[in-house]
Amino acid sequence: MNNLTEMILLLGLMLMVGLAAELLGRRTTIPRVTLLIIAGVAFGPSLLGWLQPAGTLWFTAVSQVALTMVGFLLGSHLTAPNLKRHGPSVLALSLAVVAVSVTVVFTTVWLLTGDLVLALLLGALSSATDPAATADVVRESGADGAFTETLLGVVSVDDVWGVFIFSLLLGATAMLNGDDGMVALTHGLWDIGGALVLGVVLGVPAAYMTGRISRGDPTLAEALGLVFLCLGAARWLEVSFLLAAVVMGMVVANLAKHHKRPFHAIEHIQWPFMLVFFLLAGAALELDALPAVGWLGAAYIVARVAGRLLGASAGARGRGMGHGMGLWMGAALLPQAGVAVGMALVAAQRFPERADILLSVVLASTVVFEIVGPPMTRLALRRAREAA
């Protein structure tokens, strides 16, 4: 991809593939996210070898811009009226899903391997989700209602709990290995706390300054400016850009009373970024990792699915949701992608002796969850009778 001409031609091809996925997705029950990821796998090193995204600067840039946009739009759903209606359910479900998923995966891996450190690490990694895939399935299906709002709320905070649990368990495993666990814990707390502060610092002035040029409707330049500013500042401060974007979107949505719809302009520009992101994400998946993990990878996948379903069911039962809705909420939360892979890379650096098995299990399970997860999310939205 060093040749600029080849890069431009490939980008044009990717956009055309995205259009084909859009048309096919409308005529089948397969979400366009899954179609794009499958196309990315086909174009990637595992098959045709046209896309080589791993470690490239443009993949990092596109993916982080796309996820920042997703976080911003997810945060805009966390308004005071929505939180009043669905806030307790979001909190109960997200905590239950993360806690049960981590417990089930940890117990399964520990019983199978007897390796306490590996069990703690894989348990922590199981908590992460893929907000981009879930949000895109909701947007594509036009879903709307209590189940959808709760799902988007859970997705927006799920990775916050995931990062927090990962930091705690990474610190615990470091101490078990005789290392300084406080370093990992301090880094995790800064990742979360710094992102919260950054989101507020950017969101408060943005709420009052935007939407003045075009009355009540922020312009595309304003929206993109804040997205890039948030991402750049988060990278500079080394905090979670996804969480910072969620907080910024939430602050703007709640404080900007003069907005008709906060940053509606982003929705018009978001899809080309998401299209390229999902294709590159598919190309980054390594099919060679599937047979390498064997029974441990299969056990991790089964345990994570069970943890999601059981956790969501427990949380839904506690909130008095409709019969069976907890299971469908758990099914809608199956996608797993960038956050889990990022956590796995951090864990692999801290525990190089377990790097091969950690990365193999997470990469292989990501292939499965990214292909199977979005159709399950769409099915869940239909079972809740909030999508066609």
Cβ atoms within 10 Å of 298's Cβ, excluding its own: 15
Confidence at residue 108, expressed as pLDDT on a 0 to 100 scale: 92
Which of 56-65, 89-98, 240-249 is least confident?
Answer: 56-65
Confidence at residue 379, expressed as pLDDT on a 0 to 100 scale: 87
Cβ atoms within 10 Å of 182's Cβ, excluding its own: 11
Q: What's the pTM value of the predicted model, to 2 decimals?
A: 0.70
Res. 107 pLDDT band, cuts 50 70 90: very high
Confidence at residue 306, expressed as pLDDT on a 0 to 100 scale: 92
Confidence at residue 305, expressed as pLDDT on a 0 to 100 scale: 92
Q: Tell me what the mean pLDDT of segment 41-55 comes to.
A: 71
Confidence at residue 218, expressed as pLDDT on a 0 to 100 scale: 65
What is the rounded distance in angstroms from the CA atom of residue 127 to the CA atom of residue 195? 19
Res. 236 pLDDT band, cuts 50 70 90: very high
Give the mean pLDDT of the chain: 77
Confidence at residue 58, expressed as pLDDT on a 0 to 100 scale: 66
16 vs 345: which has the higher pLDDT: 16
What is the rounded distance in angstroms from the CA atom of residue 300 to the CA atom of residue 297? 5
Residue 358 near residue 109, CB atoms below 8 Å: no
Res. 182 pLDDT band, cuts 50 70 90: low
Confidence at residue 85, expressed as pLDDT on a 0 to 100 scale: 66
Which residues lie below 8 Å from residue 78, measured CB to CB, with a gap of 6+? 153, 156, 246, 249, 250, 253, 254
What is the rounded distance in angstroms from the CA atom of residue 315 to the CA atom of residue 107? 20
